[in-house]
């Protein structure tokens, strides 16, 4: 189809761009094993001592705990609201359906600073003190669409005659849900939930606008980066995050079939506009 | 007693059956029950928040107490669009310029890769590339910015590599160029994905037809591939553009003294001068609204 030279050129370009994407992650992962406090390249002494320091850092631990709590709460809200919305949108066409789509998509399509600033104005106007719950509300607004997209994609692939057959055989709504709908949906829910958790766990901009005195893990990282403090410990955390984010993405990729390609913010929006 | 239990269970089941029959016969009722909680939650929190931000932008903050004074005024917008002191106009211009530069850079980096993925790579390579492109998107955004602060640092890997080649130091640390590189790096996967989706949909037969009709490689690219893939580029540009417009972490961590963007001002002012921060945050909203309207004209949404 294309000339050989063009194919090779494109292949080389692809390899270079992939290297551009991955070399920074590789370098930061190596710095986690830097024995020195000074960050200079090439690394002169290797050590795993900072892993121990990070493990025993109480403030780091409490930030991690808060991030997990917020992530779980936001994911829970997203699972309930996202599933309800996807069922309604899937089965019924009605006036304003596109508006509902648009409303759910907006928090993830607009830059984080707008979602953050908007929520901040709202809480200030309503006199709501910033707390862990305002962080959860902020995160839930952009997590809903991930669950919604995953479940909607799965519903579209499931034949409606399955549900009808179940009803014909005398099952009531609950039984149909329990034995038919739930088993076909569960993996999509796990995938959507994992992605929602990952997005919440990583979120920093909306969090800075909706957190009071609370410190989530990304805020902890940001504060240390701004002040240039504890960089060896930050390196260890960065290494752990790179290693750990691979897992939820990999699991959710395995749980959804290739056509659903639900990974990523971009994919969330791409799927939506289809 | 056993009979009672059975009857009770029976009536419970009867109630459940009746309920599901009611819902089955009236699908609109089921839709309503399912739709009201999420939509109500979004209207009550998210839409109300956007409304509160818009309203706040027409109020003013007391300069001593930072309390919001609820009197309608255009003061905040006058300050933003002031020609006698164009600080905020200049920052907005810099932000938009940076967003445009990042978008063009990402389009150039992404297009050949997306083409290789869609049309040249085999099944396995394509799947692998998909994962390789998407995974960085999920490994912490902060970590990815931070990795560049170490790479560009004076005694970092970049200068080490340059010196090894006998070249002088790059002096990129804390500059606008550094910001441009890091933005392009962080948002690149958002461009690759939609461009790939658009290219994948071009049937191979069209490329063959173009060649049969005598078009050389470049002509096919210009007259067949580019027009069909362009909406994908526009869709990707919505992400790269919008995400750059609203970011403040990258300028904070890798930018220099003249790298202030809209986001930095909004985040700095949000506590002391909320009304001004709200008004300035409307600038990216307006720019994005205009951008999306133009993108729609260019067919970015139909192609996806």
CA distances from B30 to A160, B12, B20 (A): 16, 20, 10
CB contact under 8 A, B56 and A221: no
Dihedral of the alpha carbons of B270, B272, B273, B277, in degrees to the nearest 10: -20
Residue B212's contacts (CB-CB under 8 Å, 6 or more residues apart) are: none
Q: Residue A115's closest CA among B238, B266, B73?
A: B266
Q: Which pLDDT does position A272 carry in this prediction?
A: 40
Asked if pLDDT for residue A254 goes beyond 60, the answer is yes
Which of left, alpha, beta for A157 (phi over 0: left; psi -120 to 50: alpha)?
Answer: alpha
Q: Which helix (DSSP H) or strand (DSSP E) does residue B61 occupy? A: strand B60-61
A75, two tokens = 């994911």
> Rounded mean pLDDT of A205-232?
91
CB B199 within 8 Å of CB B225: yes
CB contact under 8 A, B270 and A222: no
Q: Which helix (DSSP H) or strand (DSSP E) does residue B85 occupy? A: none
Strand partners, B69: B60
CA pair distance A85, A271, nearest whole angstrom:
16
CB contact under 8 A, A141 and B46: yes
From B37, B120, B304, residue closest to A84, measured CB to CB: B37
Q: Which value does ipTM take for this structure? A: 0.83
CA distance A58 to chain B (A): 21
User: What 8-state DSSP symbol labels residue A258?
Assistant: G
What band does A261 get if pLDDT is binned at 50, 70 and 90? Answer: very low
CB contact under 8 A, A248 and B138: yes
User: What 8-state DSSP symbol labels residue B68?
Assistant: E
Within 10 angstroms of residue A42's Cβ, the number of other Cβ atoms is: 8
User: What 8-state DSSP symbol labels residue A261?
Assistant: -
> Rounded mean pLDDT of A86-97?
77
From B142, B147, B151, residue closest to A204, measured CB to CB: B142
CA pair distance A215, A230, nearest whole angstrom:
16
Mutation to test the B interface, candidates A24, A103, A235, most B Cβ within 10 Å = A24
CA pair distance B274, B132, nearest whole angstrom:
41
Q: Which pLDDT does position B10 carry in this prediction?
A: 61
Asked if pLDDT for residue A1 goes beyond 80, the answer is no
CA pair distance B276, A117, nearest whole angstrom:
11
What band does A273 get if pLDDT is binned at 50, 70 and 90? Answer: very low
Which residues in chain A have their CB less than 8 angstroms from residue B35's CB? 84-85, 88-89, 100
Mutation to test the A interface, candidates B60, B150, B162, B242, most A Cβ within 10 Å = B150
**How high is the mean pLDDT of chain A?**
84
| Residue in B with minimal Cα distance to A27 | B147
CB B244 within 8 Å of CB B223: no
List the 97-116 stretch of B: residues with Cβ below 8 A of A. 109-110, 112-113, 115-116
Q: Which helix (DSSP H) or strand (DSSP E) does residue B69 occupy? A: strand B68-69
The helix, strand and coil proportions of chain B, stated in percent and rounded to the nearest 5, come to 75, 0, 20
Q: Which pLDDT does position A262 carry in this prediction?
A: 43
CA pair distance A38, B153, nearest whole angstrom:
12
CA distance B125 to chain A (A): 11
Mutation to test the B interface, candidates A122, A202, A203, most B Cβ within 10 Å = A122
Q: State the burial class of residue A52 (Cβ atoms within 10 Å of its Cβ: 0-12, 13-18, 19+).
A: exposed
Determine if the peptide bond prior to A206 is cis (ω within 30°): no
Kindly state whether B77 is in contact with chain A, defined as any CB-CB distance less than 8 angstroms. no
CB contact under 8 A, A107 and B46: yes
Where would I find the H helices in A32-96?
49-55, 58-91
CB contact under 8 A, A88 and B193: no
From A84, A110, A242, residue closest to B139, measured CB to CB: A242
CA pair distance A43, A4, nearest whole angstrom:
41
Mutation to test the A interface, candidates B12, B125, B138, most A Cβ within 10 Å = B138
Question: A98-112, A134-148, A222-236: which range is least confident on average?
Answer: A98-112
Q: Residue B220's closest CA among B236, B235, B208?
A: B208
Kindly state whether B66 is in contact with chain A, defined as any CB-CB distance less than 8 angstroms. no
Asked if pLDDT for residue A247 goes beyond 80, the answer is no
Q: Which pLDDT does position B106 carry in this prediction?
A: 96
CB contact under 8 A, A104 and B38: yes
Dihedral of the alpha carbons of A214, A217, A219, A222, in degrees to the nearest 10: 150
Q: Which pLDDT does position B301 carry in this prediction?
A: 63
| Residue in A with minimal Cα distance to B114 | A14
| Residue in A with minimal Cα distance to B274 | A121
pLDDT in tens, chain B (304 residues): 455 555 555 677 777 777 777 777 777 787 788 888 988 988 888 999 999 999 989 988 877 777 788 888 888 898 889 888 899 999 999 999 999 999 999 999 999 999 999 988 888 888 888 888 888 887 788 999 999 999 998 888 999 999 989 888 888 888 999 999 999 999 999 899 889 988 988 888 888 888 888 888 788 888 888 888 888 898 889 889 989 998 999 999 998 888 899 999 999 988 888 899 999 999 999 998 898 888 878 766 654 4
| Residue in A with minimal Cα distance to B159 | A41
Q: Which pLDDT does position B280 carry in this prediction?
A: 94
Which range, A69-83, A103-117, B46-60, B77-91, is most confident? A69-83
Q: Nearest 5°: CA angle at B49, between B43 and B54? A: 120
SS3 B74: coil
| Residue in A with minimal Cα distance to B18 | A172
CB contact under 8 A, B19 and A173: yes
User: What 8-state DSSP symbol labels residue A181?
Assistant: I
> Rounded mean pLDDT of A241-246?
80
CA pair distance B199, B145, nearest whole angstrom:
30
CB contact under 8 A, A121 and B150: no
Q: Is the pLDDT higher at A220 or at A273?
A: A220
pTM, whole model, 2 decimals? 0.85
From A82, A141, A172, residue closest to B16, measured CB to CB: A172
CB contact under 8 A, B56 and A263: no
Q: What's the first-to-final CA gap in chain B, in angstroms? A: 63
């Amino acid at each position: 189809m294309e000339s050989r030279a063009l194919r090779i050129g494109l292949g080389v370009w692809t390899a270079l761009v992939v290297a551009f994407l991955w070399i920074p992650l590789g370098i930061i992962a190596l710095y986690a094993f830097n024995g020195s406090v000074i960050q200079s390249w090439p690394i002169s002494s290797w050590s795993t001592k900072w892993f121990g320091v990070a493990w025993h850092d109480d403030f780091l631990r409490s930030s991690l705990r808060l991030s997990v709590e917020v992530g779980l709460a936001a994911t829970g809200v997203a699972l309930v609201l996202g599933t309800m919305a996807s069922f309604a949108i899937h089965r019924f066409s009605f006036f304003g359906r596109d508006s509902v789509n648009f409303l759910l998509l907006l928090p993830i399509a607009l830059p984080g600073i707008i979602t953050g600033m908007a929520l901040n104005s709202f809480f200030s106007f309503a006199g709501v003190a910033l707390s862990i719950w305002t962080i959860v509300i902020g995160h839930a607004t952009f997590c809903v669409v991930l669950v919604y997209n995953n479940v909607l994609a799965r519903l579209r692939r499931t034949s409606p005659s399955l549900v009808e057959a179940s009803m014909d055989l005398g099952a009531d709504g609950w039984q149909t849900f329990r034995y038919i709908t739930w088993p076909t949906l569960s993996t999509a829910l796990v995938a959507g939930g994992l992605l929602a958790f990952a997005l919440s766990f990583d979120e920093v901009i909306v969090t800075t606008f909706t957190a009071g005195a609370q410190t989530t893990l990304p805020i902890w990282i940001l504060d240390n980066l701004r002040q240039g403090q504890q960089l060896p410990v930050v390196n260890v955390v960065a290494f752990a995050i790179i290693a750990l984010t691979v897992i939820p993405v990999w699991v959710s990729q395995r749980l959804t079939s290739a056509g659903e390609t639900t990974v990523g913010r971009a994919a969330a929006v791409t799927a939506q506009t289809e | 007693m056993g009979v009672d239990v059975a009857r009770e269970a029976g009536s419970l089941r009867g109630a459940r059956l009746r309920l599901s029959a009611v819902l089955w016969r009236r699908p609109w009722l089921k839709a309503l029950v399912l739709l009201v909680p999420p939509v109500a939650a979004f209207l009550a929190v998210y839409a109300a928040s956007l409304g509160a931000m818009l309203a706040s932008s027409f109020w003013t903050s007391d300069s001593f107490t930072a309390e919001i004074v609820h009197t309608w005024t255009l003061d905040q917008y006058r300050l933003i669009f002031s020609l006698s002191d164009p600080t905020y106009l200049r920052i907005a211009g810099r932000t938009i310029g940076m967003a445009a530069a990042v978008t063009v850079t990402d389009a150039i980096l992404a297009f050949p890769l997306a083409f290789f993925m869609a049309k040249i790579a085999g099944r396995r390579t394509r799947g692998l590339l998909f994962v390789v492109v998407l995974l960085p998107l999920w490994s912490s955004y902060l970590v990815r910015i931070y990795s560049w602060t170490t790479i560009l640092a004076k005694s970092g890997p970049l200068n080490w590599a340059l010196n090894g080649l006998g070249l002088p130091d790059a002096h990129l640390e804390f500059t606008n160029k550094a910001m441009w590189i890091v933005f392009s790096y962080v948002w690149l996967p958002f461009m690759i994905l939609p461009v790939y989706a658009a290219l994948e949909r071009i049937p191979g037969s069209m490329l063959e037809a173009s060649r049969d009709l005598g078009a050389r490689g470049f002509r096919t690219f210009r007259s067949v591939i580019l027009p069909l893939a362009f909406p994908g580029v526009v869709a990707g540009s919505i992400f790269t553009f919008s995400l750059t417009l609203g970011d403040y972490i990258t300028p904070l961590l890798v930018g220099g003294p003249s790298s202030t963007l809209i986001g930095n001002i909004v985040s700095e002012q949000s506590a002391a001068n909320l009304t001004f921060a709200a008004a300035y945050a409307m600038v990216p909203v307006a720019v994005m609204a205009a951008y999306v309207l133009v993108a729609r004209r260019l067919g970015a949404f139909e192609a996806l």
